[in-house]
């Protein structure tokens, strides 16, 4: 009903996007090279794309934060491009390694000696990869890699003794899944950072959390509180939260800019469950922008009574 979502302004500091793109691309290439290098000893199936995505996302997020990037779509595209770059550099490292292994094999193969003598080792490797068809050698390598398959073992280590788990189409599907994992993690991290609330007047992220009330976390109380908040009865919602039973709780806060009173803060109702266990779970059940005057009234109404 009366929920007003925060919408990013689509602005950023001058030159922020190109810098972000360069940083993400460097992280992607470097991450891809390192993982491609490590992959000769360890096959980090599904772990490596997650790591690569986290590296790209982590480097990107720090730039989004410091350069005040409020452009979710642009950062999503940058994350996608960096993911593609990272995966490509990883495959290129594997390709280079395979070529050098193949070159050693051809050098030791008397049957290939005449061809190597006449055309050079590099051309012999190309010829071995393309099998006399017109496709580029790298595609020949990818085909060969897919045909040879990928072995998935429980420990995540490759084992030469067992048969490959995936071959052909399965390997291509795995590459697509890896790419999606890299991009999913990188894009997710970047977009969620670029969507964080920002004070356009002070040019700074919302960084001040003002507690309004702490209360019961049972369903009827939460439902009632959400209804009041949707009806813009913020002070009533704060007053009627009740008391936590120690198992669940609710927290009502204002998130805003510490430097000014002209911005619209976010009122947030968070439900916390599993307080007795060792893994409490928090979920925001209501989030809305409120006007500066509403926020000022609310702060005054919920101020704790001065000790007498």
State the residues that interact with Zn ion by CB under 5 A: 199, 201-202, 257, 259-260, 263
Block residue for tokens 């420990």: 155
**Would you say 120 or 201 has its CB closer to Zn ion?**
201
Q: Kindly state the smallest distance separating residue 294's Cβ from Zn ion, in Å.
A: 16
Q: Indicate the residue among 96 and 260 with the shorter CB distance to Zn ion.
A: 260
Which DSSP string corresponds to 160-206?
SSSPPSB-THHHHHHHHHHHHHHHHHHHHHHHHHHTS-EETTTTEE-
Q: Give me the least distance between CB of 207 and Zn ion, in Å please.
A: 10
For the range 102-111, what are the long-range contacts, defined as Cβ-Cβ under 8 Å and sequence gap of 24 or more?
102/128, 102/129
Length of the chain in residues, anyone? 308
First to last CA, the chain: 41
Q: Shortest Cβ distance from residue 94 to Zn ion (Å)?
A: 50
As measured in angstroms, the least distance from the Cβ of 252 to Zn ion is 21
CB of 208 to Zn ion, least distance (A): 9
Pick the closer one to Zn ion by CB: 252 or 257. 257
**Cα–Cα distance measured from residue 125 to residue 116, given in angstroms and rounded to the nearest whole number:** 9
CB-nearer residue toward Zn ion: 59 or 290: 290
204: phi then psi, degrees, rounded to nearest 5 = -160, 150
For residues 81 and 53, the answer to whether their CB atoms sit within 8 Å is no
Nearer to Zn ion, 243 or 260 (CB): 260
């Amino acid at each position: 009903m009366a929920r007003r979502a925060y919408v990013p302004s689509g602005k950023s500091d001058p030159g922020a996007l190109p810098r972000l793109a360069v940083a993400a691309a460097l992280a992607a290439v470097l991450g891809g090279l390192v993982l491609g290098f490590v992959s000769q000893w360890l096959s980090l199936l599904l772990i490596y794309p997650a790591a690569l995505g986290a590296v790209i996302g982590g480097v990107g997020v720090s730039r989004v934060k410091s350069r005040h990037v409020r452009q979710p779509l642009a950062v999503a595209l940058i994350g996608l491009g960096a993911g593609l770059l990272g995966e490509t550099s990883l495959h290129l490292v594997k390709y280079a390694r395979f070529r050098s292994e193949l070159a050693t094999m051809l050098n030791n193969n008397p049957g290939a000696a005449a061809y190597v003598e006449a055309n050079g080792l590099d051309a012999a490797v190309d010829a071995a990869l393309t099998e006399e068809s017109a496709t580029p050698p790298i595609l020949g390598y990818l085909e060969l890699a897919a045909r040879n398959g990928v072995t998935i073992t429980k420990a995540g280590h490759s084992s030469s003794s067992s048969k490959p788990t995936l071959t052909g189409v399965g390997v291509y599907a795995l590459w697509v899944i890896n790419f999606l994992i890299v991009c999913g993690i990188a894009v997710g991290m970047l977009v969620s950072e670029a969507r964080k609330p920002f004070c356009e007047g002070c040019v700074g992220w919302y960084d001040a959390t003002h507690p309004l009330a702490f209360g019961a976390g049972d369903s009827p109380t939460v439902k009632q509180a959400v209804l009041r908040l949707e009806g813009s009865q913020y002070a009533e919602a704060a007053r009627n939260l009740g008391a936590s039973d120690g198992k669940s709780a609710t927290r009502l806060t204002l998130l805003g800019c510490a430097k000014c009173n002209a911005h619209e803060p976010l009122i947030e109702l968070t439900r916390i469950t599993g307080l007795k266990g060792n893994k409490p779970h928090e979920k925001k059940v209501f989030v809305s922008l409120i006007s500066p005057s509403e926020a000022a009234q609310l702060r005054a109404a919920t101020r704790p009574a001065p000790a007498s």
